[in-house]
Amino acid sequence: MAEIVDGAGIGGAGSGSGAGGREGAGGGGPLACPRCGREDQVLGVAAAYLRAKAELKEETGSGEDAKTTTRAENSALSKALSVTPTEPDTNMGCWGATLLLVSVGTFVWGGIVGKWFDTESAVRFLPGTGPDGSSLPVTSGAYLGWISGAALVIGVLLLALSRRSLRAWRRRTEPGRTAADRVWSEAWYCGRCGTAHFSGERAMSLQEFRVRVWSAGGYGDLAARHPAI
């Protein structure tokens, strides 16, 4: 059974620190939104980001075997306010690891079924099975060897591609993360208008805000490939 708990439970930490994000980096109190002129739904971006997260609780089993698993879920808003691009999907690596297990399993099973390592019967023949009545070698389990080899090659390839993608992502985002965080933490978010702004500046769409923050980190070109909305 899954239950979604209001993201304010997590955002409470953000709302408790720095007075719920209403004092921001400059400590000057809530700033009126440049678009609507009101400030009742204006939060620091950091607090808005935390509040936009939801907590998913999943209960399994019953009685003494009951178990509750809790994990954070990113909403569309928290993703739009993210200070970096989303980390590459790990599904490719998971599939690679699974295929490696398949490779090992089929190899072991092939060795058992086909007796690949039985020196006394390493080469066995079925009499009279050839087209001319000659004997042909037994190939039982040979197909498992092909499956094992193919799974091994594909699994290693997927793992390599997954690691390469993750390394490329880190090379692009880690060097400028501090600078991006600095700009990000100085911004405000208006829940009524769905816009972000900096003190004394006009309201920006979330995509414009993303470009500005990511550009400060040196990876602003990625904003076009990862639109905020």
Question: How far apart, in whole angstroms, are the C-alpha atoms of residue 30 and residue 128?
Answer: 91
Report the pLDDT value the prediction gives residue 140, as an integer from 0 to 100: 54
As a whole number of angstroms, the distance between CA 20 and CA 8 comes to: 11
DSSP secondary structure string for all residues of 91-103 = HHHHHHHHHHHHH
In a 10 Å sphere around its CB, with 0-12 CB exposed, 13-18 middle and 19+ buried, how is residue 66 labelled?
Answer: exposed
Mean pLDDT value across the chain: 76
Q: Which pLDDT score is estimated for 63?
A: 65
CA atoms in the 13 A half-sphere facing the CB of 1: 7
The per-residue pLDDT for 168 is 86
Phi and psi for 120 in degrees, rounded to 5?
-75, -25
* Alpha carbons within 13 A on the beta-carbon side of 28: 10
Beta bridge partners of 197: 188
pTM, full prediction: 0.59
pLDDT for 24: 39
Tell me which residue has tokens 């080899």. 149
Q: What is the pLDDT of residue 11?
A: 37
- For each of the chain's 229 residues, which pLDDT tens digit applies? 443 334 433 333 333 333 344 443 333 445 789 999 998 899 999 999 988 876 655 666 666 666 766 666 678 898 899 999 887 777 888 888 898 898 888 888 877 776 566 555 444 544 444 445 454 455 556 777 788 888 999 999 999 998 888 888 888 888 999 999 999 999 999 999 999 999 989 999 999 999 999 999 999 989 888 888 7
DSSP 8-state code for residue 205: -
Closest listed residue to residue 47, CA positions, set 81, 87, 76, 96: 81
Cα three-residue angle 100-103-107, rounded to 5 degrees: 150
| Contact call for residues 49 and 81 (beta carbons, < 8 A) | yes
